Structure formats: structure tokens, C-alpha cells
Amino acid sequence: MRKNPERRQALVDAAIEVLAKEGARGLTFRAVDAAAEVPTGTASNYFSSRDDLLTQAGGRIYERLLPDDETMAQLDVGGQDRAHFARLMHELVDRIMAFNTGFLALLELRLESTRRPELREVVTKRIRADVDQNIANHAASGLPGDSTTVVTLMLALNWLIMERLTLPGLFSEQEAHELVDVLVERLIAR
Amino acid sequence: MRKNPERRQALVDAAIEVLAKEGARGLTFRAVDAAAEVPTGTASNYFSSRDDLLTQAGGRIYERLLPDDETMAQLDVGGQDRAHFARLMHELVDRIMAFNTGFLALLELRLESTRRPELREVVTKRIRADVDQNIANHAASGLPGDSTTVVTLMLALNWLIMERLTLPGLFSEQEAHELVDVLVERLIAR
DNA sequence: TTGACACCACTCCATCTGTAGTACTACGTT
DNA sequence: AACGTAGTACTACAGATGGAGTGGTGTCAA
């Protein structure tokens, strides 16, 4: 088993790409080799099995989906009203949609989780942590709404993003934009 | 190309099963043969290609996800208040989760749509029609809320169902139940 | 010089597709 | 009632693909 950490990470990133493009079932050592532009057989040398590769990809996606520091800083500036809340949510949606590969790959992993308990566990933990962190961030920000606001917003926004990524013809960009506004508006507790 | 309509439908239903269990990439003629418990080669005789099978499955799932007449009738009885609205939504969630195979298969199809424009078109049309019908049903029912209520509810409930089906450990049954109540409560326009 | 790794090549194996060929069944004809 | 025919179920095979794993060679750095 090879050790080179840059190469290993490049392979995991390539695996995410393959997941999004070809689906979970299309994730083969060979496909990853091709996506990472390394010689045939390389992925074989770095991962003991497909499962291994899959779970490592599951762990890695979240690292890349998390907001960067710059974005986090914005949480604090700009007021604590609904308008600012909405602005942040638009930003969130845009950020995730910009890394659409990651979002799609995560969807594939979720579906694959149905078949692999081990993977399910990894993904569940990651997402649980993400939910908790979003709730905590929101609480610290002083923005209106309660923790349920955060959870319900996540539900609706996630599906909206998925809708836009998988069936772009369903909602127009403008409809999607307005839906975000409405969701923020209504989901803030009275 | 064989004609026997019962067999054809049995094969399409088997294809849905395969989609949910093995993913879009796992949908092969052979796998469908096995799921339908018919001899090897049968699916080959009934469908011209994998694409053909895939799109037909896409059309069929929706038939099976639609509420039966009995459920539709319930729309009218039981009042027009929020409590009744919530009851209907719980029923909706339970009904879809009971046919979890169909929901998962539809998710697989959405992801596969990313790669197959033809399939995307079929699925988009179906879902578009479903959204419109839900809006129309709601309007006719006299229940509180506007069309945006319906759309946003669909967004959130769909992701909630997905969460429960793919990562059952994330929300407890009770949390999920309460989320439905909150969503109905808050998404009804003021 | 030695060890780790990149790269390449080759073999084995699983699986899928498409189709040819045979057997069965139902139905209509005479 | 016997027969013929059409459509289908089922079986088996040929051809092709693609992936896994591994051994070997070259290269670079300690």
C-alpha cells in the first residue's frame, strides 16, 4: 500500500468527481485512475478495496462543502434582521450549487448508504455534525428564528438545490430565488 | 419484441425494484430478469435497450406513487383547518415511505437524469405535473395556505422523507413527526 | 546500495448483450 | 376431432467488455 499523501488525496478527490459523474456503481479503481490522470492500477495500490475508497470519499466531501473562513466571518456583519438572514441563505445556496459535483456525489453516497451500513454510519455522523453546527452558528449569530427554523430551512433548501441540479427545468432561477425568500420569511418562528 | 402486457408490466415493476436496490447503474436486463423471476433473456425480448427500460420505469413509478382514490376522498372530509392539513401531510409522508422502493428508485432516476437528457425530460414532465396537481388539489380543498405553501411544503417534506429513508439514524421518528407539524404550521401564509 | 514509489503490461475473471434454436400453448381451420 | 400456425416461454451459446490484481522494471533520493 503506497503512502504518498498528495497522491492519495488527489485520488480521493478524483473519486468524488467520478461519483458525481458516473454514480456510485461507476466508482471503480480504473475510473478513478482515469479521473486523476494517473496510470492504470494506481488506485489499486492506494486503497484496499472499493469500500475503502467510498468511505474516504464520504469523509472528504464534507471538508470541501464547509464554508470557508471568509464566508463564516460574514455571519457577523450586516445586521441581524430577516433581510440579512435571507442574504446569507442565498449565499449558502449559491455556494453549494457552485460545488455541484460535491452535492451530487453526496447524494450518490446517501443512496449507496442504503446498501452499506458502514458507509451509512460515516455519512450520518458527518451530517449530524453539520446540522448541529448550523444550529450553533445560527444561535451565536443572533439572527431571528429558533433551532427548528434552521432544521426546516435545511430540509427545504437541500431539496431545492437538488431540484435545481438534477432537473434544472422544473423551477426557473427566479422562482428558486423567490422560494428562498419565502422560506426564510415563513420559517422564522413567530 | 414480445407483447404480453402483464409480463411487460411485471418487468417494469421489477426494474423499479432493481433501481432501488442496486442503483441506476445496476439496472441491467439480467438483473431485471432475476428480480422478476423470469428466465434469462426475457427482458431483452421485451425492451429494445436499457434506456427504453429506464424511461418506462420512470413513467411507471409515478403511477404507483399517486394517492389512491380512497385517500383523495379524504381530502374533503375532516374540516379545513390546520390540524386537518397536518393530518393529511402525515398521511402523505407515511404513504410515500411505505413505498420506499419507489421513492428510492425515483431518486436514482433523478441522478441518472443528470447523464441522460431524454430521461430528464420524462422525469421533469412527470414531476412538473405532480407539483401542479398538488397545487390544484390544495386550492380545491379549501385548506389554509397558498400555492407557495404547497411548493415549499413539498420541498421540505421530500427531503425529510429522503433523510429518513437513507439515513434513518439522523432524525428520530418523533423528531420527524414534529417537523411535519412545524412545517405545516409555519408555511401557511399569514 | 537500498527502499519506496511511478508506471506499464499481462492474465484471470465476472458479467452483460444479442440471438439462434427448441418447446409449449392457444386458437382457428377444415 | 385432427391439424397447422402464430406467438411466446425458455435455454444455451458466442462475442465483447471491462475491471481486479499483480509482477516487473525504471527512477529517484536517502
Q: Are residues A81 and A19 in the same domain?
A: no
Q: Are residues A56 and A75 in the same domain?
A: no
A-contacting residues of B 88-147, CB under 8 Å? 104, 107-108, 110-115, 120, 123-124, 127-128, 131
Q: Are residues A111 and A88 in the same domain?
A: yes
Q: Are residues B33 and B73 in the same domain?
A: no
User: Chain A residues with CB inside 8 Å of B166's CB?
Assistant: 110-111, 113-114, 120
Which of A100, A101, A95, A102 lies closest to A74 in space, CA to CA? Answer: A95
Q: Which stretches in chain B have pLDDT values below 70? A: 190
Q: Which of B19, B40, B60 represents a domain boundary (last residue)? A: B60
Q: Is the CB of A37 under 7 A from strand C?
A: no
Record: contact A112-B23, CB cut-off 8 A: yes
List the alpha helices (DSSP H) in A80-145. 82-98, 100-113, 117-141
Q: Are residues A108 and A134 in the same domain?
A: yes
- pTM, 2 dp: 0.95
Return mean pLDDT, chain A: 94
Total count of domains within chain B: 2
A-contacting residues of B 7-26, CB under 8 Å? 20-26
Q: Are residues B117 and B155 in the same domain?
A: yes
Q: Which cell is A39 given?
A: 496510470
CATH number of the domain encompassing residue A14: 1.10.10.60
> A74: distance to nearest CA of chain B, Å?
26
Range of the domain at A107: 67-187
Rounded distance in angstroms from the CA atom of residue B30 to the C1' atom of nucleotide C16? 8
Secondary structure (3-state) at B80: coil
**Higher pLDDT, residue A80 or A135:** A135
A189 pLDDT tier (thresholds 50, 70, 90): confident
Can you give the pLDDT at residue B163? 98
Q: Which of A86-90, A119-123, B79-83, B158-162 has the lowest mean pLDDT?
A: B79-83
Q: Are residues B105 and B181 in the same domain?
A: yes
Rounded distance in angstroms from the CA atom of residue B44 to the C1' atom of nucleotide D9? 13
Can you give the pLDDT at residue A83? 95
Q: Are residues B51 and B71 in the same domain?
A: no
Q: Is the dihedral of CA B182, B184, B125, B62 positive or negative?
A: positive
Record: contact B107-A107, CB cut-off 8 A: yes
pLDDT in tens, A126-181: 999 999 999 999 999 999 999 999 999 999 999 999 999 999 999 999 999 999 99
Q: What is the mean pLDDT of residues A24-31?
A: 97
**What percent of chain A lies above the pLDDT cut of 70?**
98
pLDDT in tens, A39-66: 999 999 999 999 999 999 998 998 888 7
Q: Are residues A84 and A41 in the same domain?
A: no
Q: Are residues B144 and B104 in the same domain?
A: yes
CATH number of the domain encompassing residue A112: 1.10.357.10
Q: How far is CA B53 from CA B24, B32, B35, in A?
A: 11, 10, 14
Q: Are residues A122 and A142 in the same domain?
A: yes
Q: Give A39-44's long-range contacts (Cβ < 8 A, gap of 24+).
A: A42/A7, A42/A11, A43/A11
Can you tell me the distance from the alpha carbon of B97 to that of A158, in angstroms, rounded to the nearest whole number? 19
Share of chain B residues as helix, strand and coil, in percent rounded to the nearest 5: 75, 0, 25
B39 vs A: CB within 8 A: no
Q: Are residues B97 and B159 in the same domain?
A: yes
Rounded distance in angstroms from the CA atom of residue A47 to the C1' atom of nucleotide C12? 21
Can you give the pLDDT at residue A75? 74
Can you tell me the distance from the alpha carbon of B165 to that of B161, in angstroms, rounded to the nearest whole number? 6
Q: Which of B60, B82, B105 represents a domain boundary (last residue)? A: B60
